[in-house]
Amino acid sequence: MNAVYEALVSLSPAHDKEMVDGYERYAALLTTILTPEQIETYAESIRQTGEIRIFEELTPAEFDALSPEERAIARTVATDENISMENRRVVALLNQRGQHAVAPDLEPVNRNQLGE
């Protein structure tokens, strides 16, 4: 797999089949729209921040705080519906496994609200 996959694996101790499949699918799809240099930049950003974000959920200030290279990646991912959905899926999977700090764009699941 590529550097993004490796960066995602490093975010969380949860490595069940569904999580690994999500990481693999997202990382593979990214290679269809990002250059190798952009893949490396995105992976480095994930490693440095220790989190994966949903690009459409970034506030204008958060978006502006990204480097020009990161903004280009965010725009590219956000404009591809399939890849954007995989981005959301990975964040949701992390959130479901209690990894809210590395997936801050979704509200933590409150099991009491789900009737559990």
The answer, yes or no, to whether residue 55 has pLDDT greater than 90, is: yes
* Element housing 89 (H / E): helix 81-96
d(CA 58, CA 63): 6
Per the listing, tokens 């699918």 go with: 25
Residue of 84 and 112 predicted with greater confidence: 84
Phi-psi group of 50: left, alpha or beta (phi > 0 → left; psi -120 to 50 → alpha; rest → beta):
left
pTM > 0.85: yes or no: yes
Per the listing, tokens 């981005």 go with: 87
